[in-house]
Amino acid sequence: MEFSITEYTHCDLIDISGRIDSYTSPKIAEVLKTLLADGHTNIVIDMKLVTYLSSSGMLVFVNAQKQRTRQDRGEIVFSNIPDCVLSSFKLAGFDQLFKFFDDVVSAVGRF
């Protein structure tokens, strides 16, 4: 799993590639924790190159979104989510917690 962060005027974009599983999800949790703690609460997560998302990875996003909701600031949204990954979100019922955009431009434009 690899990631990069691009800072835009109104949001931050995290590009993630590879597997998000029990081995790699703590790194994503750390990144999100740092961004949220620094007041960067508008976050686009681009999933175009993500090949797998486990329940532990999904819960990292869910917990970050819940934390952000409690603080009543910003929003975490996804772009380019692969169908199989979206199916897992739907199976768990967590698709309702997030907005999913077809591409990065419309996701970043959300903010």
Partner 1 sequence: MTTKTFRGNFKNLAPISDFIISQVENAGFTANEIYAIQTAVDEACANIIDHAYGGEDIGDIKIDVKKTKTGIQITLIDSGKPFNPNEVPEPDIRSPLEIRKERGLGVFFMRKLMDNVRFEFSKNEGNILTLEKYRGS
**Residue given tokens 């917690």 in the structure block:** 97
Per-residue burial over 73-102, b = 16 or more CB atoms within 10 Å of its CB, e = otherwise = ebbbbbbbbeeebbebbeeeebbeebeebe
Please report whether residue 100 would count as binding partner 1 according to CB under 8 A: no
Based on CB atoms, which residue is closest to partner 1, 91 or 105? 91
* Among 31, 21, 19, residue whose Cα is nearest residue 76: 31
62 binds partner 1 (CB under 8 A): yes
Residue 82 CB, nearest distance to partner 1 (Å)? 9
In this complex, which beta carbon is closest to partner 1, that of residue 27 or of residue 33? 27
CB 58 within 8 A of CB 92: yes
Among 42, 79, 80, 88, binds partner 1 (CB under 8 A): 88
Query: Which tokens go with 53?
Result: 């998302």
Residue 66, interface with partner 1 (CB under 8 A)? Answer: yes
Binding region for partner 1 (CB under 8 A) out of 28-36, 47-55, 72-80, 99-107: 47-55
Q: Write the single-letter amino acid at 53.
A: L
Applying CB under 8 A, the residues found at the interface with partner 1 are: 19, 21-23, 52, 54-56, 58-59, 62, 66, 69, 83-84, 87-88, 91-94, 96-97
